[in-house]
Amino acid sequence: MRILVIGSGGREHALVKGLAGNEVHVAPGNAGMDGLAQRHPVEVGSPESIVSLAREIGVELVVIGPEVPLVAGATDALREEGIPVFGPSRAAAALEGSKAFAKEIMAAAGVRTASSTSVRTAEEIDAALDQYGPAFVVKDDGLAGGKGVVVTRDRSEAEAHARAVIAAGNPVLFESFLEGPEVSLFCLVDGATVVPLLPAQDHKRAYDDDAGPNTGGMGAYTPLPWLPEGAVERMVEEIVEPVAREMVARGIPYQGLLYLGAAWGPEGPAVVEFNARFGDPETQPVLSLLASPLVDALSAVASGTLSQLPPLKWEEGYAATVVIAAEGYPTAPRTGDAIAGENLADPNRVLHAGTDTKDGVLVSSGGRVLNVLGKGATLAEATANAYAEAEKITLQGSFYRRDIARKAIEGLIQPVR
């Protein structure tokens, strides 16, 4: 099948690798994808640019990686042209694009989530801060690439973030804090049919022990040994299916990947957020364990035949990904530095995120530069294998977290039953 993947990060490298065996094109892609896919320039935020490229190549399926083209309406434009596409419509992608819309859907679907207040003016901030706390969850109600959330006990930090969001022209959402470890559950959704992938956990803070600023994600592992038996079924039945049915009832059926970010608290799962696309970096370890053809799963969603997809098969064991970030990430990442090391061209071990080539040399071009992958019979083995790959790479000033999956390995995340 001739397929076009839109995007340029580690998630898209994992998708491109998972689609190997097909004729894969990627736009704009990154330096690590050469050899797996043909790269093309595209304006990611422009539906017209994506449609025109898809037509020019004559693709049979477009897979949209990031949220920006979804919210801009790329899937609507492709479907109007009769081009099959994996990704929700603009209206359905509002589950990620507008936190307030997501709250409305959850309320209508009877899904457990944090209570919240949406604030549009600086004058309302003080009252909202009085209402929430002592832990403040303050969210940019727009697309912020996973970095628009501040969780803090420091009222002045919460206030500063709220003011910055409003100054940038977006509403700000104050939420009650949800107890419990977080789970990322990716679900293929086609109308009311939901097929979950393996559950994963991301590490969103920049530094070890969950210190430092929020990032797009610094590492992830899958599956989750601490999750109670039947947890995935509960998340599907209590959250994803009711939301999918509510979207159908409103005439905006969801067709793509619905990313459920849940907190597993004393009463079970509650929604922290939805995203309208695969998560990054969780996709990297999750897809590394998928034993069924990825193309069949994505095509079934695009063609509305997900209910006929045979059950997905998964490799036994665990997988972990560690993100190698550029100096200064996430606030002011330094780019343009040379990258050296082993296995940089082996997508089973290293997936690229922010890389480019300059005068024939591989250089950093973004904040999250590389994702190293490890698999193993145990989570400890998978993580050790990922760290062994990280040690083989040199990038001046770069850093990575040394504690990916550590709490899970040490049994410090208590199963809730």
- Site for ligand GLY, residues 257 to 286, rule: CB under 6 A: 275, 279-280, 282
Report the residue count for the chain.
Answer: 417
Q: How is residue 205 annotated by DSSP?
A: E
- Site for ligand GLY, residues 46 to 75, rule: CB under 6 A: none
Shortest approach of ligand GLY to residue 42 CB, angstroms? 21
Query: Distance between CA 366 and CA 376 in Å, rounded?
Result: 29
Q: Between 175 and 282, name the residue whose CB sits nearer to ligand GLY.
A: 282
**Amino acid identity, position 61:** L
Q: Between 59 and 143, name the residue whose CB sits nearer to ligand GLY.
A: 143
Q: Which residues pair with 318 in a beta bridge?
A: 376
Shortest approach of ligand GLY to residue 282 CB, angstroms? 6
Q: Between 255 and 275, name the residue whose CB sits nearer to ligand GLY.
A: 275
Q: Which two tokens stand for residue 82?
A: 């009769």
CA-CA-CA-CA torsion sign (151, 243, 292, 44): negative
Q: Between 145 and 415, name the residue whose CB sits nearer to ligand GLY.
A: 145
Q: Are 368 and 353 in contact (CB under 8 A)?
A: yes
Q: Are 200 and 382 in contact (CB under 8 A)?
A: no
CB atoms within 10 A of CB 311: 7
Instruction: Supply φ then ψ for residue 94, to 5 degrees.
Output: -65, -15
Q: Which of 180, 217, 330, 374 binds ligand GLY (CB under 6 A)?
A: 217
Shortest approach of ligand GLY to residue 217 CB, angstroms? 3
Q: Are 181 and 119 in contact (CB under 8 A)?
A: no
Shortest approach of ligand GLY to residue 271 CB, angstroms? 14
Which of left, alpha, beta for 397 (phi over 0: left; psi -120 to 50: alpha)? left
Q: Between 88 and 279, name the residue whose CB sits nearer to ligand GLY.
A: 279
Q: Which of 7, 9, 87, 146 binds ligand GLY (CB under 6 A)?
A: 146
**Any contact of residue 202 with ligand GLY (CB under 6 A)?**
yes
Shortest approach of ligand GLY to residue 70 CB, angstroms? 13
Q: Between 25 and 99, name the residue whose CB sits nearer to ligand GLY.
A: 99
Shortest approach of ligand GLY to residue 170 CB, angstroms? 17
Shortest approach of ligand GLY to residue 202 CB, angstroms? 4
123: Cβ–Cβ under 8 A, 6 or more apart, which residues?
none
Residues that bind ligand GLY (CB under 6 A): 146, 202, 216-217, 275, 279-280, 282
